[in-house]
Amino acid sequence: MFNVGVIEEGAGRPGLGECLTGPVRTVWAKHDRATDGWLPLWRHMADSAAVAGLLWDRWLPGNVKALVAEPLPKGMDDARRLVVWCAATHDIGKATPAFACQVDSLADRMRAVGLDMPGRKQFGDDRRMAPHGLAGQLLLQEWLTERFGWPERATVQFAVIAGGHHGIPPGHSQILDLDAHPELLRTPGSSESLWRQVQTELLDACAATYEVRERLADWQRVKLPQPVQVVLTALVIVADWIASNPDLFPYFPEERPRGEAERVAAAWRGLRLPPPWCPSAPGGAVEELFAARFDLPTGARVRPVQEEAVRLARSMPAPGLMVIEAPMGEGKTEAALAVAEVFAARSGAGGVFVALPTMATSNAMFPRLLDWLDRLPPDGLDGTVPEGKERSVLLAHSKAALNESYADLLRTSRHTVAAVDQFGDEDRVRASDDVRSAAAELVAHQWLRGRKKGLLASFAVGTIDQLLMAGLKSRHLALRHLAFAGKVVVIDEAHAYDTWMNTYLDRVLAWLGAYRVPVVVLSATLPAARRRELAEAYAGAGRDAREGYARLVQAGGYPLLTAVAPGAAPEMALPAASGRRTDVVVERLDDGLVVLADRLEAELADGGCVLVVRNTVDRVLETADCLRARFGDAAVTVAHARFLDLDRAGKDARLLELFGPPGEDGTSPRRPGGGHIVVASQVAEQSLDVDFDLLVTDLCPVDLLLQRMGRLHRHRRSDRPARLRTARCLVTGVDWAATPVPAPVRGSRRVYGEYPLLRSLAVLEPLLSGPSPETAVVRLPEDISPLVQRAYGDDPQGPAAWADAVAEARRDHEAHRARQRREADVFRLDQVRRAGRPLVGWIDAGVGDADDTRAGRAQVRDGEESLEVLVVRRRADGTLTTVPWLGKGLGGLDLPTDAVPSPQAARAVAASGMRLPYHFSYPRVLDRAIEELEELCVPAWQVKECHWLAGELILALEDGPDGDCHTRLAGFQLRYSPTDGLRVIGDGAEKQRDV
């Protein structure tokens, strides 16, 4: 698969081990207590350097290489040497008494050659002041100063890479503490000079072997930008992790000792790390590009917004930020992927990350990404891939393994990660090629899995949290930055994020801009002020440069494309409308279940399909109960987020089956013909290609209201009832008679805040109060941008009598947003600092190890901590099963409590996860709920072999007399059915309505 004849630049030079003799060879780096195998420090340094060179040559995307090379005098040549040298020297801090004393037998070997040191107990807690990363940083700084005359200030930006290779760059106080304890670096007395000699000999040998000695004089004048320091740190982490894997790099003693080149070649062949994507710039007509990349319907033509997006991507001075604002259903996703291909070819990016609001939208996007990847041409101008044929793919959220498409990739991509001799075990590793999907050539690579490494895959779809956590001070943040630095980033549904999330997103965009990562932002309903904020954040626009961005707020027209290239003024383009148009008649509807039922009875006299959108789950369920009493159970479907994962996925699939796009004849055989009502929460707003004849919606912010209208008459149909052939939206959830302003219902005010709702009412008021239905029309797409800009602008809206109430609501709104910004800023990453400013203290006072954990996700979203549970069924005799209604043979499987359940049963339980509503987020209720849930902790499930269930909270439901499942938790009565999802019943539920 790989050409391994020459694995290092300058392979004719002596290896690191050949340059070292005497006591230095006794210094150890790795030890296996089970086998007493060990690895000398020099060997691990050589392994790490060789891996770093291979990562640079065969894995790292071109844009990241260019980023590292730019500040260095000799560009790419210096960059490769620097990467290899940083990897070689990263563990020099292990050549210290504080580290070496940890294994008695290996410490005794070192003492025997004169490297004296106290025992571990003699050091006591002082050892904690000298973690080997920090020790290595100080030794490197000292070596550069004493041996090469570097000023101390210049040394830190290079040495901090070693200091941060365990995930957290040292803080200033840690450096001062270790400076005060030199005995941790060298044992005082007769052996101090020998310790110094060993440390210097290792560093001198690295400088000579990896040819940096002659470059150090020039490098001391370099000011490394912080983004360069970050990616160098991350590359060292990756090289260290690979070189520390004993399956790839066995410890001593080895059964078959290898030379350095053979050892590294065998490891690289066993790792089989896929190379980066290297696309050629797609030329030719845009129509040809879209026909080749996407499964377009018969007769479909490229939309003007798609054509203009590709043209703009090709013509920008350099790839940068592109914001695509276009109506729902205009093919923004396809436009983004086409732009991503152009941007990647122009910038050297090696992959794509697509960020979406939720797991459900991410799951829906994943097969679309796979289909696009299958249609991409081979890399390279000659139509070949230089090394290997695989492209690594990831679905990036906490329940990815439960997604069918991704689970298939996991199963078919399985192979052993172990060293492979060139002529020895090649067939064993290659056997998995026959199992993989040869047509797709896409793999969920074995090594590129897990919370910390997964995003290093070339192509990924995930929730927006994955991107926002690049702005969260957390351990191994450098790895997340390296992952995004090498990709084109696509951010979908940009309007869906609140002030808290946008606070993180703006900081992430600032870092992406500093990395020169191409970014594509998609939205149908983006406020102009938010457009400007996104552009300024990405460009890093200072106060002097912001005047050039002011015009982004005044930009008129829709659809609208905004492009920001590095160092250039923002550019805007107004593509022609596609010709798709829907006129929606908007009218008031009094709030009340009987009023709603009476109106729908009249509207559905000749059949038809209605979508009713409520702003809270409780209103969804109350409405569904009332409508079922009037129309029958079969005529009403419920959809919201309070379902088990498998039930939610089944709901989405069923909605698409019944209400999705019609066939070429404009009809849908599965569409209910006698009248059907879907009562849904906000899940109906995002990424579901469903189409209804009539919309009834609670009042919500106007951009979201327009999103809901996007599910109304979305496709051309020949089977709509005559009464419903005019698109109509009935706005309810408001006391229209209240004074001085109409009053949205309490649940809506809690979800969205009063001010955005009043602004929405204000811009709709001229339509709703018009003299006739002919004047109450929202024209899609023409009115989308004007309505959104008016609602989110500063100009007064609505009748003068509303002014005082709106002003008071605005004060509360601004105070709430200020609180969100303050609280979000606590753990938010700092701005990019000036070049040469070292990463010391980069993530001080952070959240710790938060990669894709509940704590990490909670930090980048504003909301109370919520509990996630796995739901099982408890029989009358106390035994447990999976819930009985699951399809595909997963329902009713036994769950033994004295053994690990079968893989099928365990996976079925994992797929029955559910996030409890925020009734259980209040501190006292939360603590009580956790205490009660932990009573069902099954010890037999808390083992490595039961990874689906270990550490999870289990909620057991019991069969009820009404056919639903019941239980009590923290004083609440819970009732669940696959038809309606979770209901929370009790006094507390009345006081704490669920969102």
Residue 31 per-residue DSSP state: E
Provide the pairing of β-strand 488-491 with 352-356: parallel
| First CA to last CA distance, the chain | 53
CA angle 126, 127, 128 (to 5 degrees): 90
Q: Which two tokens stand for residue 565?
A: 């290239």
- Distance (Å, whole) CA 481 – CA 450: 16
Listed residue (330, 481, 546) closest to 842, CA to CA: 481
pLDDT the model gives residue 563: 97
pLDDT the model gives residue 580: 79
> 207 and 295: one domain?
no
Asked if 819 and 805 touch (Cβ cutoff 8 Å), the reply is: no
> 143 and 118: one domain?
yes
pLDDT the model gives residue 444: 61
445-467 per-position pLDDT tens digit: 666 666 678 899 999 999 999 99
Structural domain includes residue 855 = no
175-199 per-position pLDDT tens digit: 999 999 999 999 999 899 999 999 9
pLDDT the model gives residue 383: 42
810-842 per-position pLDDT tens digit: 999 999 999 988 888 888 999 999 999 999 999
pLDDT the model gives residue 990: 40
Q: To which H or E segment does residue 646 belong?
A: helix 645-659
Name which of 346-350, 441-445, 911-915 the model is least confident about. 441-445
Average pLDDT over residues 664-677: 87
Statement: residue 772 has pLDDT above 50: yes
138-147 per-position pLDDT tens digit: 999 999 999 9
> 480 and 458: one domain?
yes
324: CATH: 3.40.50.300
Count of domains forming the chain: 4
Strand-pairing partners, residue 915, are: 868
Statement: residue 653 has pLDDT above 80: yes
Domain boundary among 573, 593, 617: 573
Statement: residue 111 has pLDDT above 50: yes
- % residues pLDDT > 90 (the chain): 68
- Distance (Å, whole) CA 882 – CA 484: 39
Structural domain includes residue 841 = no
148-174 per-position pLDDT tens digit: 999 999 999 999 999 999 999 999 999
- Distance (Å, whole) CA 8 – CA 296: 46
Structural domain includes residue 271 = no
Domain boundary among 573, 598, 626: 573
721-771 per-position pLDDT tens digit: 999 999 999 999 999 999 999 999 999 999 999 999 999 999 999 998 877
pLDDT the model gives residue 507: 96
pLDDT the model gives residue 735: 97
Structural domain includes residue 834 = no
Name which of 110-114, 658-662, 876-880, 961-965 the model is least confident about. 961-965
- % residues pLDDT > 70 (the chain): 90
pLDDT the model gives residue 773: 67
Structural domain includes residue 650 = yes
> 563 and 588: one domain?
no
62: CATH: 1.10.3210.30
Report for 45-49, 400-404, 425-429: range of highest mean pLDDT: 45-49
Listed residue (489, 407, 485, 488) closest to 449, CA to CA: 407
> 187 and 69: one domain?
yes
Q: What is the DSSP string of 689-746?
A: ---BSEEEEE---HHHHHHHHTTBS-S--S---GGGSSEEEEEESEETT-SSS-EE-H
Q: How many CA atoms lie within 13 A of 920 on its CB side?
A: 24
Structural domain includes residue 9 = no
Statement: residue 428 has pLDDT above 80: no
pLDDT the model gives residue 541: 63
pLDDT the model gives residue 440: 30
Domain span holding position 905: 864-991
> 221 and 354: one domain?
no
- Please name the residues in contact with 354: beta carbons below 8 A apart, sequence gap of 6 or more: 336, 365, 369, 460, 461, 462, 490, 492
pLDDT the model gives residue 380: 57
Statement: residue 436 has pLDDT above 50: no
Radius of gyration for the chain, computed over Cα atoms and rounded to the nearest angstrom: 31
What pLDDT band is residue 260 in, cutting at 50, 70 and 90?
A: confident
Listed residue (50, 83, 91, 48) closest to 219, CA to CA: 83
pLDDT the model gives residue 591: 97
932-970 per-position pLDDT tens digit: 999 999 999 999 889 889 989 999 999 988 778 999 999
Q: What are phi and psi of 848, to 5 degrees?
A: 85, -140
379-397 per-position pLDDT tens digit: 754 444 444 467 888 888 8
Statement: residue 434 has pLDDT above 50: no
> 336 and 482: one domain?
yes
pLDDT the model gives residue 923: 84
What pLDDT band is residue 426 in, cutting at 50, 70 and 90?
A: very low
Structural domain includes residue 786 = no
> 607 and 729: one domain?
yes
Average pLDDT over residues 83-87: 98
Statement: residue 334 has pLDDT above 90: yes
Structural domain includes residue 188 = yes
- Distance (Å, whole) CA 249 – CA 417: 11
Average pLDDT along the chain: 88
> 231 and 332: one domain?
no
> 358 and 304: one domain?
yes
583-634 per-position pLDDT tens digit: 999 999 999 999 999 999 999 999 999 999 999 999 999 999 999 999 999 9
Three-state secondary structure call for residue 977: strand
How many C-beta atoms surround the C-beta of residue 895 within 10 A? 24
Residue positions counted in the chain: 995
Statement: residue 866 has pLDDT above 80: no
> 948 and 808: one domain?
no
pLDDT the model gives residue 31: 93
> 419 and 532: one domain?
yes
- Please name the residues in contact with 826: beta carbons below 8 A apart, sequence gap of 6 or more: none
Domain boundary among 553, 573, 593: 573
Report for 418-432, 528-542, 747-761, 980-994: range of highest mean pLDDT: 747-761
